[in-house]
Amino acid sequence: MSTFSVMRKTNKPLLLLLGILAFAPCLALAAASGGNTPPISEMEVNDPSQEVRFSADEMQHDRELDIVTARGNVQVQQLQRILRADVIVYNRKQDFVTASGNVTLLEPSGDVLFAEFMELSGDLREGVIADLRAILKDGSLIAASGAKRTGANILNMRNAVYSPCRLCEDDPSRPPLWQVKAVKVIHDKKRQTIEYSDAWLEVAGMPVLYTPYLSHPDPTVKRKSGFLTPSFGSSTTTGSFLTTPYFFNIAPNADATLTPSFTADDGVILAGEYRHKFQEGNFEAHASIKENTPDSQQTYSTEEGIANIRGHISAKGRFDYDETWRWGFDANRQTDAAYMSRYGFTADNTRPEISNALASQGFVEGFRGRNYFYAGGTTFQNTLTNPDDTQTPLILPLVDFNHVGDPDRYGGHSTLDVNMLALSRSEGTDTRRLSFRGGWNLPHVAPKGDVYTLSAKMMGDFYHTNNHVVSGQDKTSDFAYRLMPQVALDWRYPFVRGEGKVYQMFEPIASAVVSPYGGNSSDIPNEDSQNLEFDDTNLFSDNRFSGLDRVEGGPRVNYGFKWGVFGEGGGSTSLLVGQSYRYKTDDTFATGSGLEDNFSDIVGRVHASPGSMLDIFYRTRLNKSNLEARRNEVDLSAGAPALRLSTRYSYFDRQEGSEFSGREEISGSLSSQLNKSWRSSLSATRDLNENDLRAMNLNLTYEDECFLLSTNINRTFFQNQELHPENSIVFRILFKTLGEVSPGVQVLNPNQTN
């Protein structure tokens, strides 16, 4: 084996020569001894960046023609580019290299070129290649009968085939799942594109699509401007449609996507997205706009009459000022109540299936030590059909301050919460509120292991209202206040026992809370505490109302226990049961809340997960008189990936005065990973109160390393003034690395009319 390294002194680089000529006596000795060159040590160089390394089993030098021939495990390395072959011949006069026999060229980009013959320039950057095969950075394969290499950037191939699919191990000659054949293929590394001329797309060896031109980014591309894969189809909302998104790579930290949709029945819908990442924060916006069509059957009324323009905007920004302070905003608006739901747009801050408002806010907040501060304002847009916007509030300002003190020498710590709010309406009650909650908490662990927590709190609320009508009185209230002291003691005594690899835990829990009766005067409006849900999560809370406008008064006791068994393998089962008792009833709690009587309803939960094959979660609230269920929730997940069942059952009564009706509903899904490539799922939701099927979905998907085919059949039965029941079938076809095709067809319900 002979090895040496040389320093490039001119732009005629390669290799060998400078080192070989420097060791001409050694070469002459090699020729005299049969052509085998004795080992040569590497040379010292002053500039490693210009170094060319060369090694071979044997070398010969023809002085007359100035040609060097290397045979046997020949390797040439220049910077990060490596050429290997059985035989390499270097013509010094013309500065070109020929390589033959198992030729391999490793590129700095990660691409690997294989051939039986290459003729390259001395710097390995230009030349011609015969019988080319290439593996790109992402594992995609290219084969061509011949290629021309220019400047190490452009590879011009003829009669080429491209595919990211793995070849069959049993029969490598078998065509891949899909491939692109073209008369001409150009891989431009500088532009980071692969272009095809006169190309055919073949699936399983059968040609299915011809295109005179095709282009896609090469594997090195993360972001590049250009058209994204279009989608097309038909729906009962828009008729036939074509969507052609275009991506703008504005900067490494900013991009935009413009998505026009051309529809048969609804004109053009223009949607867009913009994202910008700043050093101190980020901004993101989504928007759409379309012209209304008053001459069609689909017109949409606003307060001003027929709207000429429909659209929406959803924007979000978060920006850091320094290590303590940051500011941000959310902006969510639509021209009419059903626009976003009708055309499939969503806002970050809302779930359309449960929310009846879009919220927009601006705020400043600060974090320092154990302190938190928030100041902002919020406005809402009603998403209900025919809403009464005069009752929609504007909250400005809303100020929150929270403080948790450092532990004192006894282990106790102080807390302080301050809230200031101004809520205004066009018609109805206007509210201005100042609230504070100051307290002290002392935890203590007794020698026997039981845990006590003593807490004392003072609550104060001051109100000024306009147009607040007091129920049962023919007057409005202007000023109101309350001061509410509260003392609470919490006790827990956990017992733990282990047997082998199983551990059991039993923990009785009790808490006593003492505070004055009353506190919820009719002069105080209720804006943020209208809906109360009594369950296992707030059983031991000292105030079960979610907001500040209502407080829980009077002495009461909460009691219950936890039990659990846990295995070292990860399996577990846990149980919680509890109840509350108050000395006097409190009419603040609505009928049906479970807290309106002396003894509350019984709440509990069970969670059983013996292993990955089964998980059951059950939550309930039982009538304390007859143990009849007032609330039941069951979540079940069972099975292996080959066949897995998930289901959810929900039941709860309606509370008096609540904006939410009672519900009894069951939903479930059955999924199966049929094999490595195929998977399927079936899901449905049924309203048991109305005995009505709300939604059903069937999906069948094939996916491997280079291809995805998905069929999705969906039925929805939700209906209001503008949203009607709909059936749809959507096919999604994805040729990975080439793009995505998502044709969709939505089938009109035969009972539906526009």
- Residue 263's pLDDT band (cuts 50, 70, 90): confident
pLDDT at residue 742 greater than cutoff 70: no
pLDDT for 301 equals 53
With b for 16 or more beta-carbon neighbours within 10 A and e for fewer, the 629-666 pattern comes to ebbebbebbeeeeeebebbbbbbbbebeebeeeeebbe
Tokens standing for residue 309: 């323009």
Most confident of 49-63, 481-495, 646-660, 661-675: 481-495
Mean pLDDT, rounded, for 78-89: 86
Amino acid at 417: D
Residues of the chain with CATH 2.60.450.10: 2-217
pLDDT for 28 equals 34
Cis before 397? omega within 30: yes
Report pLDDT digits (tens) over 391-442.
Answer: 889 999 999 999 999 999 989 999 999 999 999 998 889 999 999 999 999 9
**What is the DSSP pairing of strand 744-747 with strand 231-235?**
parallel
pLDDT for 474 equals 64
Most confident of 114-123, 451-460, 668-677, 717-726: 451-460
* Mean pLDDT, rounded, of the chain: 83
More confident residue, 166 or 21: 166
Q: E strands of 629-725, at which residues?
A: 629-640, 643-652, 663-672, 678-687, 692-703, 707-716
Amino acid at 207: P
- Residue carrying structure tokens 């659990």: 564
Tokens standing for residue 478: 């202007």
- Residue carrying structure tokens 């095809």: 196
Tokens standing for residue 432: 């201005």
Mean pLDDT, rounded, for 280-302: 75
CB 737 within 8 A of CB 216: yes
Report pLDDT digits (tens) over 588-628.
Answer: 888 888 899 999 999 999 999 998 899 999 999 999 999 99
CB 91 within 8 A of CB 67: yes
- Residue 464's pLDDT band (cuts 50, 70, 90): very high
Mean pLDDT, rounded, for 296-304: 50
Report pLDDT digits (tens) over 683-719.
Answer: 999 988 888 888 889 999 999 888 888 888 877 776 5
Q: What angle do CA 447, 453, 457 make, to 5 degrees?
A: 155
What is the DSSP secondary structure assignment for residue 385, as one 8-state letter?
S
Cα 513 to chain center, whole Å?
Answer: 43
Name the percent of the chain lying above pLDDT 90.
Answer: 47
pLDDT for 53 equals 76
Dist CA 121 CA 128 (whole Å): 9
pLDDT for 51 equals 58
Longest CA–CA separation in the chain, Å: 124
Q: What angle do CA 22, 24, 28 make, to 5 degrees?
A: 165
341: phi then psi, degrees, rounded to nearest 5 = -65, -40
CB 715 within 8 A of CB 735: no
Dist CA 179 CA 735 (whole Å): 10
CATH superfamily of this structure's domain 2-217: Lipopolysaccharide (LPS) transport protein A like domain (2.60.450.10)
Q: E strands of 501-626, at which residues?
A: 502-514, 556-567, 572-582, 602-611, 614-622
Lowest-confidence range among 60-74, 153-167, 414-428, 727-741?
Answer: 727-741
Cis before 508? omega within 30: no
Mean pLDDT, rounded, for 6-22: 36
CB 309 within 8 A of CB 321: no
**Cα end-to-end span (Å), the chain:** 84
- Residue 196's pLDDT band (cuts 50, 70, 90): very high
Cα 166 to chain center, whole Å?
Answer: 29
- Residue 212's pLDDT band (cuts 50, 70, 90): very high
Global pTM?
Answer: 0.75
Dist CA 535 CA 595 (whole Å): 11
Tokens standing for residue 328: 């941000």
H or E element in which residue 111 lies? none
Mean pLDDT, rounded, for 437-449: 94
- Residue 13's pLDDT band (cuts 50, 70, 90): very low
CB 335 within 8 A of CB 307: yes
With b for 16 or more beta-carbon neighbours within 10 A and e for fewer, the 246-269 pattern comes to ebeeeeeeebbeebebbbebbeeb
Instruction: Measure Cα distances from 697 to 371, 497, 711 in Å.
Output: 48, 47, 10
CB 113 within 8 A of CB 132: yes
Dist CA 317 CA 312 (whole Å): 17
